[in-house]
Structure 1
Amino acid sequence: MDELHSARRRRGARERILKAATELFTAQGINATGMEQLSTAAAVSKRTLYTHFSSKDDLVVAYLSTLRGGLLPALPGSDQPSRSPREQLLAVFDWKPPQSVAPVRGCPFLNVSVEVPDPGRPAHQLAAAHKREFARRLSEIARQAGIAAPEILGEQLALLYDGAAARGTVLNSRHTGACARSIAESLIDAALAGADTTSER
């Protein structure tokens, strides 16, 4: 019983640390957030913090890992199967930053890649892997739609998404996603029209 209680307490401490990291990294960035501040916000000692995460780099990687699934496009059939591939592609641009007086922070993976610029660091590598997977999933959805060059459209839409996220951060604007969505519609419809023309030949 004591072991079970101890395991729950350790798990609870880890969850509090990750919650505090998510809130602080989102609000003020990684480099501006110190381990002392994190331990205070999570209500744990620094010793406990370092027991769960041996370095700040480890904590940043864990923080990004908790976000990955929710920020990747759903593959065909895995989420709301009634949606057409076109609707699934456009849904990527429907994400809106939470309504808050805090500055818009955009994409956490882009933010980490800027704050941790060394491509050899695990956090930067994880951010890059996420961005590659993001484009790959868009390409797979485009392939399901019958688009002739799905990898090209996937990369175009991924670049458009990242550009909207970065511009929203710079301008502190929550409206760049809507503009990007209208551009995405034009790209997708042009690619679908091209696919229809090819199939008619």
Structure 2
Amino acid sequence: MTNTESIRRGGRGARDRILRAAAELFAQDGIHATGIARLTDVAQVSTRTLYQHFPSKDAIVAAYLRRFIDETPRPAAVQLAREDLDARARLLAVFLVEPTTRPDGVVRGCPFHNAAVEAAGTMPEVTELVEQHKREFTRRLAEVAAEAGARDPETLARQLALLYEGTRALSTSLNDTQPAHDAHELAKTLIDQAITPLRESSPATAS
């Protein structure tokens, strides 16, 4: 093996290649269907190199998810952070984000949701990361809901999180992005009901 081939298959950039391969294969085939041999082949690293960077496949899954938290926020989180929209528009923009779809048109949905389903309680670190991500998303929804003037921002945030997560799950189950479009209209109703001031009762008519 030449020195160039050794670098390509070994240390320099190996960790990043493994995580890029994981992102591609987990989205395409799923976590359980992606074996170590396939990961090393796509990442162009040896099995020994892979285990030097990650002690287990669970550790690869956890690192794959952390990238969405630390480096490349999910599109919904990006919408909540936009500075060109007011708070109400940012909440609605979350529901304009199309579900994640593979190049062949298959809807894969949220990688955190997919990981939680596949882990099924057998990957504690992954389960913790998924819970952390979902709670943080709801917390951010509550912050933006409060900015929009919601009377009860925490309740609105939980309702919107439920609608968002349910929509993604249904889109994945049906392999159809239509639920996302339907959810936008429902979100608009929920938001407007939550931020419209309650109509004051009319004073009792004097007898």
| Aligned residue in 2 for 1:14 | 15
Task: For 1:34 and 1:13, locate their aligned partners in 2 and report how far apart those are by CA, in whole Å.
Answer: 17
Question: Percent same amino acid among aligned pairs?
Answer: 44
Residue 124 of structure 1, aligned match among 120, 127, 144: 127
Task: For 1:53 and 1:37, locate their aligned partners in 2 and report how far apart those are by CA, in whole Å.
Answer: 15
TM-score, reference length from structure 1? 0.86
| Aligned residue in 2 for 1:148 | 151
Residue 77 of structure 2, aligned match among 38, 63, 73: 73
- How much does 1:81 deviate? 1.9
Residue 104 of structure 1, aligned match among 103, 107, 111: 107
Task: For 1:86 and 1:154, locate their aligned partners in 2 and report how far apart those are by CA, in whole Å.
Answer: 12
3-state secondary structure, aligned to 1:73: helix
3-state secondary structure, aligned to 1:39: helix
Give CA-to-partner distance per residue, 1:49-102, whole Å, 9 cap, x none.
1111110111000000112251152587xx432311011101111211347324
Matched letter for residue 110 of structure 2: C
Matched letter for residue 133 of structure 2: H
Equivalent pairs counted in the alignment come to 188
Residue 167 of structure 1, aligned match among 167, 170, 190: 170
Distance 1:40 1:127, change over 3 A: same
| Aligned residue in 2 for 1:61 | 62
Distance 1:26 1:120, change over 3 A: closer
TM-score, reference length from structure 2? 0.84
| Aligned residue in 1 for 2:46 | 45
**Structure 1 runs (4+) greater than 4 angstroms displaced:** none
Task: For 1:140 and 1:74, locate their aligned partners in 2 and report how far apart those are by CA, in whole Å.
Answer: 14
Q: Which runs of 5+ in 1 are unaligned?
A: 1-5
| Aligned residue in 2 for 1:3 | none
Preserved contact between residue 25 and residue 34 of structure 2 (Cα < 8 Å)? yes
Greater Rg by CA: 2
Q: Which runs of 5+ in 2 are unaligned?
A: 1-6, 201-207
CA RMSD of aligned residues (A): 2.0
Deviates more, 1:165-174 or 1:64-73: 64-73
